[in-house]
Structure 1
Amino acid sequence: MSGWKKVLYYDQGYPDNYIEPELFLADLKKNLHTKPYRYFFVVQESGALVQQLSCVCCFICVFVWLQQEWLSPVVLMCCSFLLTLSSFLLVEVSTSNGLFSLSKTGNIQQFAMVIFFLCLLSPIMRTLTESISTDTIWAMSFGMMLVHLAFHNYGVPQAGAKVSDSVSLNAAVFAAVCLASRLTTSLDTFSLLSCAIEMFVFFPHFRRTIKEASPKFAVCMTALWVAASISLLITISSIALTFYLLTTMMITFVCPLWVIKLQHLKNNIYGPWDEAVLNKEENESVGNSDQSI
């Protein structure tokens, strides 16, 4: 090496951007904080997406059953109430500080208030889209459900994708209102909208709470949702059932394998050019030590 030094306060006869060839990219580090994933872990984590997809399929099947008068709205409301109550109790048993804790009655009061206003607004909802063609309603509902799935928060920490709970929820509610407006009675509309509130508002929080409390039970819940979707779709359309099964298999088994195969292509670089990152834990420990001194 020559007598060159990495300083700028005096002229060494070199350009300002000069660096010794031996030192060029000497501090470069690759994939410093990359965590390698295992296949079965990725398969387990894909359960959140499968559950939400199954939730959308079950909701559409419930709408078809109501429209074809295969399902009574009273039976739907009773089943929805029992499932919601079971979810409350399950979260209360699994964790003492869950979002739906029975000791905190605020959530139950909000749920009762939403159901009350749905009951009042159901006649208006049923006639809200009378001037819109049925084909347009199907197209808008399908598009809004896709938006719901695309922007839904699946609980992945530090996700690179942009998620928005408000956009996802509003899209699902909009699709539910469009579908409910094609039912014949106000009671049918009320039962479908109350089911939508339980599926798209309360179920995502229930799923995250249960996953934190018991990851194994979350896997069982994924299997239950898939079984329920298959049982409902088989009565409506074999084509929809085939598409659902292929999509579920793709999400559960093929995409995780694809992620594992592409891990070696990940190439995050780190070096002295990166911005400084404040480590709060180290600063707190240093502050506590200074106070003790």
Structure 2
Amino acid sequence: MASPRKPIVTAVNPFCVPNGALADADSDSDSETTASVSETSDSESETGVPINIVVTPAVSSLSISEAPMDDDAQTFSSGYLSFSASSSSSTTTTHLQLPQGGYSGIAPPLPPWRKLLWVKQPYPDNYVDTTFLSQLKQNSHVQPYTFWALSADFSSVLVHLCTVVHFVIVFVGIYGQGWSPVRFAGGSCVLTAGGYLWLRYYLMDGQSLGPSSSSEPGSLLATFKSALLILFTILALSPVLKSLTQSTSSDSIWALASWLVVGNIFANDYSSTSTRAVTTVFNADQDIELKSSLSTNLALSAAIVLASRLPTTIAVFSFVLFSIQLFGVFPAFVKRIRVAKSPKAAKSSPTVALRYSKTYWSLLATLVTTTYIGLWHICAGADPWFKLLVGGTWLGTQVAVMVVLPLWLLTLQKYKNEIQGPWDPAKPVLQNTRI
């Protein structure tokens, strides 16, 4: 006795009848359309038996019935759905939905997939078309770095480090070597006023040789009143600040101040200039936005806890005033100069950009030079090896910031992989139109 053979389905599709299917039923018949499984003769294929499907236009569903066969399972699949039929002692039936009127022949090709959510398409929700990555772009907006451009960007880190070193030098000189605190407070006030007036009266646009139109007497008076208010507030709080940490040991103060200074260095805003800053730099009344409020607060906290260790009230007042100008006013001044010398600003005003660029690099050279002078003075009575250690550490830090780190970023540039495609959100292009 021949062993039972498995039924074969070469293609099952809601819009298709397998090749070789019988469609000789009466088209006017209202009987149910069935697909029967029958054994093949010995002369037929040994791989199985065909399924004979009869479809009539009067029905809209198709029933497939299986006869008992082996314990194996046969999977039927189509372009729109898939279903399984497992053999058992009883007959199982699975229904396929067909279009009204039925269809017999080869399945029509699927319509091309379109990226339209409002169109109902015969594809699943998680369908990924073969053209999905056809519009993939890699590193299309990436601009290659250059060493000098990176060094110029890293110069902002060096400027801030020089500021911190000046802060430490002044405190060590006042606290340990008897330097006059009034001299530093007065000098910083003179430099602040000079820098402010320089920005007000020599902030030129294009080829103009006159002062900026924003330098109005009313604005100058308001600025002067604000400066006096801050000055008298610090003077009134100086006795309180002097006795702020009397019950705290000096070791705790040094440790706390050190961590506050380290936090100031890491929390400072070293970002490059933005487009918004470039558009506002030529208006002296509009301040450059500083995002380093946390860094400023940490630096002023360190200044307050250190000032509480100074011997006199005038020393506390002078040191706090010097620190406010160093960490509050000076970063805004440097930020404005960096914005004015940026390449974006150079496109709109090359003359101003060139002038500010020279000022910026001259300022950086002055800061670096004065740090070495200050370190030499506070280490005058120390051992030679200590002087060498301090000077070598500071020199190595400058080389690392201006040379090593830019070279390191240049080596990492080859790993840059930025991809863009139609899946990215659209970015509107805004154009200024004058009416």
Deviation at 1:15, TM superposition (A): 4.2
More strand by share: 2
Q: Which residue among 322, 326, 335 is the counterpart of 1:195?
A: 322
1:2: Cα distance to partner? 8.0
CA distance in 2: counterparts of 1:81 and 1:207, whole angstroms: 16
Q: Does 1:272 align with 2:399?
A: no
2:158 alignment partner in structure 1: 50
2:361 corresponds to 1:253: no
Contact 1:88 1:100 in 2 (8 A): no
Distance 1:143 1:29 in 2: 45
In the other structure, the counterpart of 2:270 is 154
Distance in 2 separating the partners of 1:129 and 1:218: 39
Name the CA distance, whole Å, in 2 between partners of 1:27 and 1:196: 55
**How far apart, CA to CA, are the structure 1 residues paired with 2:242 and 2:171?**
13
In structure 1, the residue matched to 2:305 is 178
Measured after TM superposition, the shift of residue 217 of structure 1 is: 1.6
**Partner amino acid, structure 2, of 1:192:** F
Number of residues paired by the alignment?
280
1:220 lines up with 2:328 in the alignment:
no
Shift of 1:128: 0.3
2:372 counterpart (205, 226, 230): 230
User: CA contact under 8 A between 1:50 and 1:251: conserved in structure 2?
Assistant: yes
Q: What amino acid does structure 1 have at the position aligned with 2:366?
A: L
Q: Is 1:32 paired with 2:148?
A: no
Tell me the CA shift for residue 120 of structure 1: 1.2
**Displacement of 1:178 after TM fit?**
0.8
Q: Structure 2: any 5+ residue segments left out of the alignment? A: 1-108, 204-210, 275-289, 341-351, 380-386
Write the mapping of 1:54-133 to structure 2, written as runs, cut at 5 A: 54-95=162-203, 96=211, 104-133=220-249
Output the CA distance in 2 between the equivalents of 1:117 and 1:125. 12
Higher relative contact order (CA 8 A, sep 6+): 1
Q: Which amino acid aligns with 2:364?
A: T
1:17 maps to 126
CA contact under 8 A between 1:180 and 1:189: conserved in structure 2? yes
Rounded to whole Å, the distance in 2 between the matches of 1:185 and 1:219 is: 37
2:21 maps to none
Offset, 1:244: 2.0
CA contact (8 A) 1:144 1:174 kept: yes
Letter in 2 for 1:268: E
**Which has the larger Rg?**
2
Alpha-carbon distance in 2 for matches of 1:176, 1:108: 24
Alpha carbons 1:129, 1:181 under 8 Å: kept: yes
Partner SS state of residue 105, structure 1: helix
CA drift of 1:11 comes to: 5.5
Higher fraction of helix: 1
Secondary structure of the residue aligned to 1:195 is helix
Aligned sequence identity (%): 29
Contact 1:92 1:101 in 2 (8 A): no
Whether contact under 8 Å (2:201, 2:212) holds in the other structure is no
The C-alpha deviation readout for 1:196-252, integer Å capped at 9, x for no partner, is 011011101111222315122211111111111111112334233322221111111
- What amino acid is the match of 1:251? V
Question: Distance between the aligned counterparts of 2:296 and 2:214, measured in 1?
Answer: 18
- C-alpha distance in 1 between matches for 2:425 and 2:251: 53
Residues of 1 paired with 2:216 and 2:161: CA distance? 26
Return the letter of the residue paired with 2:303: A
The answer to whether the 8 A contact 1:92-1:100 is kept is yes
TM-score by length of 1: 0.85
Q: CA RMSD in A?
A: 2.7
SS at match of 2:220: coil
Pick aligned residue for 1:141 from 245, 253, 257: 257
Aligned partners of 1:86 and 1:120: how far apart in 2? 26
Stretches of structure 1 that go unaligned for 5 or more consecutive residues are: none
Q: Distance in 1 between matches of 2:320 and 2:376?
A: 23
Q: Whole-Å Cα distance in 2 between the matches of residues 11 and 86 of structure 1?
A: 71
Work out the CA distance in 2 between the residues paired with 1:98 and 1:226: 34
TM-score (norm 2): 0.59
Which residue does the alignment assign to 1:209? 336
